[in-house]
């Protein structure tokens, strides 16, 4: 893989041999989330209180932005990261300040779809953000993969997926998520970069043995959680909630997932 770096206005960018940005870090604030979509991938933190999540699976390391954020602000969490290209880890350590803490950050090399099939563990939170140099997801945006993700989640677990489309049309991806999670999946309106973040909950599993806990949370509760998260970490998700409130996902001021 051809890995390139660029820097502009104090921000270092990661590229996989093309102009597509695969990750970014503000050099003066290495643990902050620089890109809009990485901030929005932290929306699951608003849906659970306390020390959730404790077990996190991340597919796609990139510039390790999300990994570092959870490492710093969720110190009880153990993070398993599946990355198909070993060079990405080396670059993340050398240029993007990925912590060297194998007790909490377990890097595995391999295809995320294969890992999801072979793994026997369950996770509180699964984050999927895997693209090649041409911004293609391959098997990471298929119904079988999403079904495997559901099987790997705890009963109150959440799946969070970064969707990217040149046409900003995510309908087919969302349809696959909805089928895999029996309708308990939503996608936020896309942000300026063209990314859209999708969430899915095990609460929609049709299999009795995998019956989950449906999520029901009001907009006011989400705003309170966002204010607390901002105080705690500096991450401001209130603008995301404003966009979410304007969508069809908050009928009657309540998010059902």
Q: Domain tally for the chain? A: 1
Residue 244 lies in a domain: yes
Name the least confident of 142-156, 210-224, 233-247: 210-224
C-alpha pair distances (Å), 150 with each of 42, 126, 158, 163, 214:
19, 9, 9, 17, 14
Residue 128 lies in a domain: yes
Residue 168 lies in a domain: yes
- Assess contact for 215 and 256: CB atoms under 8 A: yes
Whether 100 is catalytic is no
| Residue pointed to by tokens 């009880």 | 76
Greater model confidence, 135 or 141: 141
Residue 45 lies in a domain: yes
For residue 73, give the CATH number of its domain.
Answer: 3.40.50.150
Q: What is the pLDDT of residues 231-256, one digit of tens each?
A: 999 999 999 999 888 888 887 889 98
Helix, strand, coil percentages in the chain from 3-state DSSP, rounded to 5 = 35, 25, 40
- Assess contact for 192 and 200: CB atoms under 8 A: no
Domain that holds residue 169: 30-256
Out of 124, 129, 141, 156, the active site residue is 129
Q: What is the pLDDT of residues 36-50, one digit of tens each?
A: 999 999 999 999 988
Residue 93 lies in a domain: yes
Residue 158 lies in a domain: yes
Residue 106 lies in a domain: yes
Greater model confidence, 4 or 251: 4
Q: pTM of the prediction?
A: 0.93
Q: Is the pLDDT of residue 140 over 60?
A: yes
Residue 22 lies in a domain: no
Name the DSSP letter for residue 190: P
């Amino acid at each position: 893989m051809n890995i390139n770096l660029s820097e502009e206005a104090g921000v270092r960018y990661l590229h996989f041999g093309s102009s597509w940005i695969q990750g970014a870090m503000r050099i003066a604030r290495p643990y902050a989330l620089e890109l809009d979509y990485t901030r929005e991938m932290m929306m699951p933190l608003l849906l659970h209180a306390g020390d959730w999540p404790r077990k996190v699976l991340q597919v796609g390391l990139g510039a390790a932005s999300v990994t570092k954020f959870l490492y710093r602000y969720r110190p009880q969490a153990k993070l398993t990261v599946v990355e198909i290209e070993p060079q990405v880890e080396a670059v993340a350590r050398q240029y993007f300040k990925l912590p060297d803490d194998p007790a909490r950050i377990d890097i595995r090399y391999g295809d995320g779809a294969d890992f999801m099939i072979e793994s026997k563990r369950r996770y509180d939170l699964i984050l999927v953000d895997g693209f090649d140099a041409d911004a293609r997801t391959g098997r990471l945006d298929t119904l079988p993969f999403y079904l495997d993700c559901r099987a790997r989640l705890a009963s109150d677990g959440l799946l969070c997926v970064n969707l990217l489309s040149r046409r900003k049309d995510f309908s087919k991806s969302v349809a696959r998520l909805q089928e895999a999670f029996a309708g308990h999946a939503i996608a936020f309106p896309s942000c300026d970069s063209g990314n859209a973040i999708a969430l899915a909950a095990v609460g929609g599993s049709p299999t009795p043995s995998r019956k989950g806990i449906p999520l029901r949370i009001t907009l006011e509760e989400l705003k309170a959680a966002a204010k607390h998260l901002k105080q705690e970490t500096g991450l401001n998700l209130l603008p995301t909630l404003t966009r979410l409130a304007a969508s069809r996902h908050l009928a009657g001021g309540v998010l059902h997932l």
